[in-house]
A and B are shown apart, each in its own frame.
Chain A
Amino acid sequence: EVQLVESGGGLVKPGGSLRLSCAASGFTFSGYGMNWVRQAPGKGLEWVSFINSGGNYIFYADSVKGRFTISRDNAKNSLHLQMNSLRVEDTAVYYCARLSGDSWGPGTLVTVSS
């Protein structure tokens, strides 16, 4: 069974940092491009970042470019999102998802507040 599980969310002050992780199982992780998608409270879905299967093609939404860094460790079946210079507007549930959209994790909540 395909499974994605995010971790690392929590409460952080504006300007702070967090590192999210996504543990993958039940499929050949190294064969799939992966996305991070977020959803602010009561709002719609917003794509955040993409990394291809090999980790050499990476893209970011303009809203996080220069502050967030996506990475992956195919040997450990894990995806990461390093989030720096966090802003109040980054408050959201963060999901990892396979590029095809057919598998999503349950999400991890990031709250940026003073």
Chain B
Amino acid sequence: DIQMTQSPSSLSASVGDRVTITCQASQDISKYLNWYQQKPGKAPKLLIYDASNLETGVPSRFSGSGSGTDFTFTISSLQPEDIATYYCQQYDNLPPWTFGQGTTVEIK
């Protein structure tokens, strides 16, 4: 199975800061990576698909990049409503889907 290593596990940043999360796959997954946002008590919400494509309706401050094994998720200007846990997930090799461990984003 493909392993996804996500870092950091948590971060604290100020409103307006640029926030970056990384995800590394244990083997080449091309562009087949999703990024999700999950708020407490809620289902995950898809933000980015195919590594860099913004899901419809998602604010443009969210972005993704990368291919192969190394991927980056960025919030260009952190907002209070962005407080959540973020997950990467690969879908190149099915089954299974595999998820990163998650990154909890807090406001400093």
Residues of A within 8 A of B (CB): 35, 37, 44-47, 50, 59-61, 95, 97, 99-102, 104-107
Q: Chain A residues near B87 (CB, 8 Å)?
A: 44-45
| 26 chain-A/chain-B pairs, Cβ below 8 angstroms | A37-B97, A44-B99, A44-B100, A44-B101, A45-B36, A45-B89, A45-B102, A46-B99, A47-B97, A47-B98, A50-B94, A50-B95, A50-B97, A59-B96, A61-B96, A95-B43, A100-B46, A100-B49, A101-B34, A101-B36, A101-B91, A102-B46, A104-B44, A104-B45, A106-B43, A107-B43
* Number of chain B interface residues as a range: 20 to 34
| Complex Cα–Cα for A61 and B98 (A) | 10
Per DSSP, chain A at the interface is strand
B82 part of interface (Cβ distance < 8 Å): no
Interface of B is mostly: loop
Given contacts A95-B43, A101-B34, A102-B49, contact A45 B95 (CB under 8 A): no
Chain B residues whose C-beta falls within 8 Å of the C-beta of A105 in the assembled complex:
43
From A102, which residue of chain B is reached at the shortest CB distance? B46
Residues of A within 8 A of B106 (CB): none
Known contacts: A44-B101, A45-B44. The answer to whether A59 contacts B49 by CB under 8 A is no
Least distance between A96 CB and chain B CB atoms (Å): 10
* Chain B residues numbered 19-44 whose CB sits less than 8 Å from any CB in chain A: 34, 36, 38, 42-44
Contact status A45-B91, CB under 8 Å:
no
Q: Is the CB of B95 within 8 A of A59?
A: yes
A44, B43: Cβ atoms closer than 8 Å: no
B-chain residues with CB within 8 Å of residue A46 when the two chains form the complex: 99
Q: How far is A35 from B36 in the complex, measured between Cα atoms in Å?
A: 16
